[in-house]
Amino acid sequence: MMTPADRVARVRLSSVYLPLDTPVSDAKVLTGRQRPMTEIAFLFAEITSEQGHEGIGFAYSKRAGGPGQYAHAKEIANDLVGEDPNDIARLWDKLCWAGASVGRSGLAVQAIAALDIALWDMKARRAALPLAKLLGAHRDSVRCYNTSGGFLHTPVEQVLENATAALERGIGGVKIKVGQPDTRADLARVRAVREHLGDHVPLMVDANQQWDRPTAARMGRALEEYGLVWIEEPLDAYDHDGHAALAAALDTPIATGEMLTSVGEHAELIRARGADILQPDAPRIGGITPFLRLAALAGHERLQLAPHFAMEIHLHLAAAYPLEPWVEHFEWLEPLFEERLEIRDGRMLVPERPGIGVTLSERAAAWTAERFETP
């Protein structure tokens, strides 16, 4: 006998501002394009069904955009009430059409992302499965690397200490930021970290889009000797042809994609062969539903995958990708949740908890600026 269809009973939205202990600077700050980052804005969505099932999801914004995400989510949230929460793909399309006049990328779909992720979390919880298992996992753990210890505001000596601490915690690789106005400083930084780690530890660098084509080519050649896993965002995020030229010319793989804000934009990057390693961000492209569409495209092209940020979500999505991926370790979000992810022998373990496996902490409530609940 079929179970009666469930319905969305309530959607609760929260605008939360997570303070960072230290202002964070990458190359975009050193080149004068942005200010140091002092907080991260989060849009949390909590969805409850008539049968008592619950799900939680989130989107985020750095430096600007958080209020806009929250405002758009308030406009469309009521369109979920009364709907079957299992029909996630149809509901994503419905929410997208509700805001069709503001487009199908960027802030518009990032507001949808929090709702979409909450629906997937609910579906996995209903099935009593971790999200990775619901999606069809290829593995129970994923290679992980740390980024948060290698930002440019951090002195090199501290970067070395942070790298050691990451490895002692069980993290498998280390990524450091480059892209300073003085490329000699970048090379000295990479040399110091490689000598400190030795040749056996996976090492990545991230220029945060701050090189032009000639500089990226010269730096790419200079960095070849360090055996990097990848060079990330050497060029503007939308310079697909430039990234493709670097990928063809260098032995070191090129990684990019985190700043793209739709499946369509990633499809253009894939068509241009602009990345050896694709770095999509589920909250930035609209949630898990579009991420799965993108993963199918990337898998067809046999591209490597290393999702950007939000390890609490991306661990599950990476575990369901057919080729061996990477997931990025940032401890920044940990104060928002009661749970912690387990790391062992260079890999992040998929939690056995149902759904994404997180619940909001009391501190998250203290950092909440606004709340909204559907009638």
Q: Which residues are catalytic?
A: 177, 308
| Identity of the amino acid at 44 | F
How many angstroms separate the CA atoms of 182 and 349, rounded? 39
Place of tokens 């062969």: 273
251 CB neighbour count, 10 Å cutoff: 9
Buried b (16+ CB within 10 A) or exposed e, 346-375: bbbbbbeebbbbbebeeebeebeeeeeebe
How many angstroms separate the CA atoms of 120 and 363, rounded? 24
- In this structure, are residues 44 and 360 in contact, taking their beta carbons and an 8 Å threshold? yes
How many angstroms separate the CA atoms of 265 and 133, rounded? 28
Buried b (16+ CB within 10 A) or exposed e, 37-58: bebbbbbbbbbbbeeebbbbbb
How many angstroms separate the CA atoms of 124 and 119, rounded? 9
For the chain, what's the residue count? Answer: 375
DSSP 90-136: HHHHHHHHHTGGG-SSTHHHHHHHHHHHHHHHHHHHHTTSBHHHHH-
